[in-house]
Amino acid sequence: MVVTIRIGASRRPNGAPPDASMGRAGWLFAILQQLGGMVRLSGLTLRHTFKRPFEIDLWVEQLYQLGVRSLTITNVTLLFTGMVLAIQTAYSLAAYGGKSFVGDIVALSVVRELGPVLAALMVAGRVGAGITAELGSMAVTEQVDALRALAANPVRKLVVPRVGALVLTLPLLTILADTIALFGGLLMALFEIGQSRAYYMSHVLGALTITDVVSGVGKTVFFAFFIGVIACYNGINTRGGADGVGKATTNTVVVSSISVIISDFFLTKMFLLVL
């Protein structure tokens, strides 16, 4: 099989990019083509991830860029989410004795759902956009072609370290952000709701099972892969100068955010079935 790269993009017989003149069909064609390209790039990425030699330096660089530098945004987001969730629960469920369940509700909704999804959305915005902008400006200045001309493989050099770093770091970012959210809930339990630390913690730990943690964190492995592939695909296939880079970056944020939300539904069902 011929796997030519227009990185990941399918081999178009006449090289025809879709354009406005194709009307509605062109729009559909463009989406299918993007989807096909992303699937193909996913395959190439998986294949090259486990092939020697491993590009340790590139991985370390990306782990830092994508992981360490996302800590602030995911942690702040989840800290406030935990806090708001605690007070919302306490007040809105007060009539049903909801106050006593604050720990349970914060724990379950954060660990199963909000932690993974919000961390992924923040990372899609920050990291996804960053990857597309970086690779996009490389593509439009022919640096991606230069890499190929030097007989290096852009999938190995550019895509694998980024997708790999995302897949390694998003679960860890999520675990940390979950913990911070539970801490935010604790702050509210102590200072707004008037519970003791021991009471809140016993409800948190009593509600959570290992299954909740596994399904919550497990989803983020998939989210990270989707975000990484979408961002890299859009970056490497960027055309048309600075304007093209802007459009590609926007597309990455939109498409990867939607992918997170939609795949969350299916992944949740899947984990409910298998766990």
As a whole number of angstroms, the distance between CA 215 and CA 171 comes to 11
Residue 142 φ/ψ region, left for φ over 0, alpha for ψ in the -120 to 50 degree band, beta for the rest? left
Residue 210 within binding range of another protein, rule CB under 8 A: no
Asked if residues 75 and 180 have their Cβ atoms less than 8 Å apart, the reply is yes
The only residue of 9, 109, 151, 168 in contact with another protein, by rule CB under 8 A: 151
Judged by beta carbon, residue 65 or residue 251, the one nearer another protein is: 65
228: three-class secondary structure by DSSP: helix
Element spanning 27, H or E? helix 23-49
**Piece of 93-101, 122-130, 152-160, 180-188 that binds another protein (CB under 8 A):** 152-160
Q: How far is the CB of 11 from another protein (least distance, A)?
A: 8
Whole-Å CA distances, 61 to 53, 150, 261: 17, 22, 29
240 belongs to the binding site for another protein (CB under 8 A): no
Diameter of the chain by CA atoms?
69
Query: What 3-state DSSP class applies to 140?
Result: helix
- Interface with another protein (CB under 8 A), residue from 15, 25, 52, 273: 15
Size of the site for another protein (CB under 8 A): 25
Does residue 148 interact with another protein by CB under 8 A? Answer: yes
> Residue 219 CA to chain centroid, in angstroms?
10
**x/- contact string, 91-110, with another protein (CB under 8 A)?**
--------------------
The verdict on 4 binding another protein (CB under 8 A) reads: yes
Q: Which stretch binds another protein (CB under 8 A): 9-17, 35-43, 94-102, 241-249?
A: 9-17
What residues from 115 to 134 belong to the interface with another protein (CB under 8 A)? none
d(C-alpha 153, C-alpha 225), whole Å? 20
* Structural contact between residues 188 and 86, judged by C-beta atoms closer than 8 angstroms: yes
Stretch in the footprint of another protein (CB under 8 A) among 16-24, 29-37, 97-105, 190-198: 16-24
Smallest gap from Cβ 23 to another protein, in A, equals 15
Is residue 141 a contact residue for another protein (CB under 8 A)? yes
Q: Which amino acid is at 134?
A: E
Q: Which residues bind another protein (CB under 8 A)?
A: 2-5, 11, 13-17, 19, 138, 141-143, 145-153, 155
